[in-house]
C-alpha cells in the first residue's frame, strides 16, 4: 500500500503527467462543444446531401446529388456518413461532423505510434532518452490537432480531407517501415491497400501520392529491383481488386465508366496550370510556402530552425526524420504547382513537417542553442496574449448574452494563467504546456466566437428560412423549377432532411399542386408565393411558389 501511494504521488507530481492530464481533460470538450451549432458550409452540404440521398433511395452504389448522378468523388466517405446516420438515427450537423473528430484523433494516434516507434533523439542515458522520445511523439500528435487551421476550422467540418490525410500519412509511414525491414511484399500490399482506400475516399490524388512516395523511397535507398518485382505486381492487384470490384458493380448498374473517370481526372486537373494558365501558376509558386506557413501556425514558427547552418546535417543523421522531410518535399509538389489549392488539402503534410521541426527543436535544445530561447520566448508572449484575450469578452457587446459569461471568462483566465505558470516553471515541458493553452483557446472560440458567427453567418439564414419554408409546404411535393437552385447543396440538404424526399429539378410536366423553388427573376411564369429562402450564393433570395400557369413573354408575377 505504501508503495502504491508513493507511485500515485510520483504520477501526480510529474510535470509531464500533470500537463498530459490537463490536455486529455481539455481535448474532447474542446473538439465537441458546439460542434453542431453552425449550419453547414459549402462542401459540407455536398457530403451530407449525397449520403442522405443514398439513405433515402437505398442505392449505395451510385452516388447522386439532387437525384442526378454525382461523379466528383467515390462513395466511401458517403458510406461512412450513412453508417453514422443509421447508427445514431440522426442526420444533423453534429452527427455529420463526428466522423471528422474521430478521424482526427485516429490520425494523431497514428502519428504518435510511428514517431515513437522510429525516433531516438539522443545518446544520453536511457531514462533521458525515454523522456525525450515520449515527449517528442506526444508533441507531434498534439501539434497536429492544435495547429491553427485544424483546431479552429477543419476539425469542425464534415469533410473528407481529415480521413483522406490520415490514410495517406499511414501509407507514407508503411512504405518507410516495411522498406527499412526489406519486407517488400508487405510494403506493396499495405501501401496499395491504403492507396485503394484513399482512392475510394477522394479519387486520383491517392494514386499520385502513392506513385511519388514509392519513387522517392526507392530512389533514396538506391534499390530499384523491388520496384520491378512480383511483389509490386501483387500490390497493384490488391488495388485492382478493391477499386475494381466497386466499379465493376457500378458499371453494371449505370452502363459504363467513361463519365466517372473523366470527371475524376478533371477534378484533379482543374486546379493546375491547365485551367489557370502560366501567370497565376508562377505567382502561386512564390506565395504557396508563405500561405502554408501562415495556415498552420503557431507550430510553423519552428521553421526558424531550418535557417541554421547545421539543419541539413542534423536531418541526415536520422533516417526516419530524413524520410519525413523527403516525402514532404516530393508529395507536396503537385499542390505547390496547383493554383486552386485549399489548406485542407495539405493536412497529410502537416505531421511530416512538424516531425522535422520538432526534431530540430529538441536537437537545438540539447546543445543549448540561443535560437531555442528566442523560439520559446515567442511562445511565452503568445501565452501572455491569450491570457489578456481571455478577459476580452467582458467588454465585447456581441457576446454579452452568452450564458454564464463571467464564469466562463473566469475559467478561461484561471486555466490560461495556470498554464502560463507551468510554461515558465517547467522548462522541459514548455511545448506541452502550450498545447494545453491552445486547447483552452479553442474552448474560448467555442463559447464566444461560434455564437457570434451563428448570428451573422448567411448559413444560419439558409438553414432557418429553409426550415420555415418546409412548414408551409403542407405535405406537398417540392421540386426545383428548372435551374433555379443552381449549385446549392446546403439548401438541398436541409430540404431533403426535413421532407425525407430527394429534391429534384423539374423541366416539364409540372404538377400544379406541387411546390417549386424558383428564381422568379429568371423565369417568366405566373405563380403564387409561398415562402422566401436564402441561398449561400451572395446570400441571395429564392422563392418557394405554386405555379399558376405558364405565360410566355411575361415576367414572373406574384398572385
Q: With CA atoms as reference, report the closest residue to 371 among 360, 381, 382.
A: 360
Average pLDDT over the chain reads 89
| Percent of the chain topping pLDDT 70 | 90
pLDDT score for 317: 87
Upper half-sphere CA count for residue 521 (Cβ side, 13 Å): 4
pLDDT in tens, 48-96: 999 999 999 999 999 999 999 888 899 999 999 999 999 999 999 999 9
pLDDT score for 422: 94
Q: What confidence category does residue 271 fall into, taking pLDDT thresholds of 50, 70 and 90? A: low
pLDDT score for 277: 57
- pTM, to two decimals: 0.92
pLDDT in tens, 138-179: 999 999 999 999 999 999 999 999 999 999 999 999 999 999
Q: How many CB atoms lie within 10 A of CB 522?
A: 13
Report the pLDDT averaged over residues 502-522: 89
Q: With CA atoms as reference, report the closest residue to 108 among 159, 154, 165.
A: 165
Report the pLDDT averaged over residues 507-514: 86
In the predicted model, is pLDDT for residue 124 greater than 50? Answer: no
Domain range summary for the chain, segments of one domain joined by +: 41-121+140-351, 459-558
Contact residues for 412 (Cβ-Cβ < 8 A; gap 6+) = 390, 440, 443, 444, 447
Grid cell in block for residue 417: 494563467
pLDDT score for 523: 85
In the predicted model, is pLDDT for residue 9 greater than 70? Answer: no
pLDDT in tens, 194-244: 999 999 999 999 999 999 999 999 999 999 999 999 999 999 999 999 999
In the predicted model, is pLDDT for residue 127 greater than 50? Answer: no
Q: What confidence category does residue 276 fall into, taking pLDDT thresholds of 50, 70 and 90? A: low
Report the alpha-carbon distance of residue 149 to residue 44 in Å, rounded. 17
pLDDT score for 13: 53
| Percent of the chain topping pLDDT 90 | 69
Report the alpha-carbon distance of residue 334 to residue 274 in Å, rounded. 13
Amino acid at each position: 500500500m505504501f508503495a502504491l501511494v508513493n507511485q500515485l504521488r510520483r504520477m501526480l507530481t510529474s510535470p509531464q503527467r500533470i500537463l498530459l492530464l490537463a490536455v486529455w481533460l481539455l481535448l474532447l470538450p474542446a473538439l465537441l462543444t458546439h460542434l453542431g451549432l453552425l449550419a453547414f458550409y459549402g462542401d459540407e452540404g455536398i457530403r451530407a446531401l449525397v449520403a442522405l440521398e443514398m439513405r433515402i433511395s437505398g442505392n449505395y452504389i451510385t452516388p447522386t446529388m439532387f437525384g442526378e448522378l454525382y461523379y466528383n468523388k467515390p462513395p466511401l466517405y458517403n458510406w461512412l456518413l450513412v453508417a453514422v446516420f443509421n447508427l445514431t438515427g440522426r442526420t444533423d450537423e453534429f452527427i455529420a461532423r463526428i466522423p471528422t473528430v474521430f478521424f482526427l484523433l485516429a490520425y494523431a494516434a497514428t502519428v504518435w505510434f510511428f514517431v515513437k516507434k522510429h525516433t531516438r533523439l539522443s545518446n544520453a542515458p536511457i531514462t533521458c532518452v525515454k523522456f525525450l522520445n515520449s515527449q517528442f511523439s506526444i508533441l507531434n500528435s498534439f501539434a497536429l490537432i492544435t495547429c491553427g487551421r485544424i483546431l479552429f476550422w477543419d476539425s469542425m467540418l464534415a469533410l473528407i480531407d481529415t480521413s483522406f490525410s490520415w490514410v495517406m500519412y499511414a501509407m507514407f509511414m508503411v512504405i518507410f517501415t516495411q522498406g527499412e525491414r526489406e519486407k517488400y511484399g508487405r510494403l506493396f500490399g499495405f501501401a496499395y491497400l491504403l492507396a485503394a482506400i484513399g482512392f475510394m475516399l477522394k479519387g486520383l490524388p491517392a494514386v499520385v501520392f502513392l506513385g511519388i512516395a514509392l519513387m522517392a523511397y526507392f530512389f533514396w535507398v538506391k534499390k530499384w529491383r523491388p520496384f520491378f518485382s512480383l511483389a509490386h505486381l501483387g500490390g497493384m492487384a490488391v488495388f485492382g481488386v478493391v477499386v475494381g470490384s466497386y466499379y465493376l458493380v457500378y458499371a453494371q448498374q449505370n452502363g459504363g465508366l467513361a463519365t466517372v473517370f473523366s470527371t475524376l481526372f478533371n477534378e484533379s486537373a482543374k486546379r493546375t496550370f491547365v485551367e489557370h494558365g502560366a501567370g497565376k501558376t508562377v505567382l502561386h509558386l512564390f506565395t504557396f510556402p508563405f500561405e502554408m506557413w501562415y495556415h498552420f501556425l503557431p507550430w510553423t514558427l519552428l521553421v526558424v530552425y531550418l535557417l541554421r547552418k547545421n539543419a541539413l546535417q542534423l536531418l541526415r543523421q536520422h533516417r526516419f526524420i530524413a524520410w519525413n522531410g523527403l516525402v514532404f518535399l516530393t508529395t507536396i509538389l503537385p499542390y505547390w504547382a496547383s493554383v486552386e489549392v485549399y489548406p485542407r488539402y495539405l493536412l497529410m503534410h502537416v505531421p511530416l513537417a512538424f516531425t522535422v521541426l520538432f526534431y530540430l527543436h529538441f536537437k537545438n535544445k540539447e546543445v543549448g542553442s540561443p535560437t531555442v530561447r528566442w523560439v520559446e520566448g515567442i511562445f511565452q508572449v503568445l501565452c501572455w496574449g491569450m491570457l489578456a484575450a481571455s478577459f476580452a469578452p467582458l467588454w465585447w457587446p456581441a457576446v454579452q448574452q452568452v450564458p454564464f459569461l463571467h464564469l466562463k471568462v473566469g475559467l478561461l483566465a484561471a486555466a490560461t494563467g495556470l498554464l502560463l505558470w507551468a510554461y515558465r516553471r517547467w522548462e522541459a515541458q514548455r511545448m506541452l504546456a502550450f498545447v494545453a493553452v491552445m486547447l483552452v483557446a479553442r474552448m474560448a472560440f467555442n463559447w464566444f466566437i461560434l455564437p457570434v458567427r451563428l448570428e451573422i453567418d448567411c448559413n444560419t439564414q439558409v438553414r432557418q428560412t429553409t426550415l420555415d419554408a418546409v412548414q408551409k409546404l403542407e405535405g406537398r411535393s417540392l421540386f426545383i423549377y428548372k435551374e433555379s437552385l443552381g449549385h446549392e447543396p446546403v439548401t438541398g440538404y436541409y430540404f431533403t432532411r426535413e421532407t425525407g424526399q430527394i429534391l429534384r429539378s423539374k423541366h416539364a410536366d409540372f404538377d400544379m399542386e406541387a411546390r417549386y423553388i424558383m428564381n422568379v427573376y429568371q423565369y417568366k411564369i405566373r405563380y403564387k408565393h409561398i415562402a422566401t429562402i436564402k441561398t449561400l450564393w451572395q446570400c441571395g433570395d429564392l422563392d418557394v411558389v405554386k405555379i399558376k400557369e405558364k405565360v410566355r413573354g411575361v415576367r414572373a408575377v406574384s398572385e
